[in-house]
Amino acid sequence: MKTLAFSKNLVYGVGGAERSLFEELKKKSKETSITLTSVNGVKSFNANNLKLTLPPSFKVSMFDPSLLTSRFFFNEYLLNRRAIGNFIRKEGADYDELWAQNIWAPIAINSFSKKTVYFARDESFLNVRPNYYSGIKKYAKKFYDLIDSPGFIAYCNDNRKAIETADEVIANSQFMANEIEKRFGRASRVL
């Protein structure tokens, strides 16, 4: 069995989601070969200084995106959507399953024709963009969201389809599992 794992920042330890998925993949590597797929040249989160130390058995396949930005992540998704889909269809042809998380996961899930496991790690997975700011920052966030809205709309459509069609959805908390059930009518496993 061969597993392809895809996340924009997967080989970079920029946050808990990447590290959590990485730990699950290490457990799975006893029964399957693992290839991590991540993006070359990530500009945010000081990513290049945070590369994970990978087990020797892990393979890495880096994806060259059409465009990377350090802001407007949903529009970045929209501009890379076609390239991600083409990459997953081509790269994934030799794999039995795909594990995916992060903002770029929906198009990866939707482009893979075999078993898919979708990891729900944050509020964007729920197709919401809350604004927790107050005062002038609240209005600045609204303006930022307006600029990023074409990408967010594409993301939400792709995300709903990915949630509905993934073979398995894994939530990182009971709260997320409850919200997935409420918003999408989809049961998920908590891990």
Looking at every residue in the chain, the average pLDDT score rounds to 91
Lowest mean pLDDT among 35-44, 62-71, 86-95: 35-44
Q: What is the pLDDT of residues 26-39, one digit of tens each?
A: 898 888 899 999 88
pLDDT band at 44 (very low <50, low <70, confident <90, very high): low
Amino acid letter at 27?
A: K
Q: Is the pLDDT of residue 132 over 70?
A: yes
Q: Is the pLDDT of residue 12 over 90?
A: no
Structure tokens at 84: 């991600």
Q: Could you give the CA distance from residue 28 to residue 2 in angstroms, rounded to a whole number?
A: 10
Instruction: Write out 121-159 in H/E/C secondary structure.
Output: CCHHHHCCCCCCCCCHHHHHHHHHHHHCHHHHHHHHHHH
Task: Say which DSSP state 46 is in.
Answer: T
Q: Is the pLDDT of residue 58 over 80?
A: yes
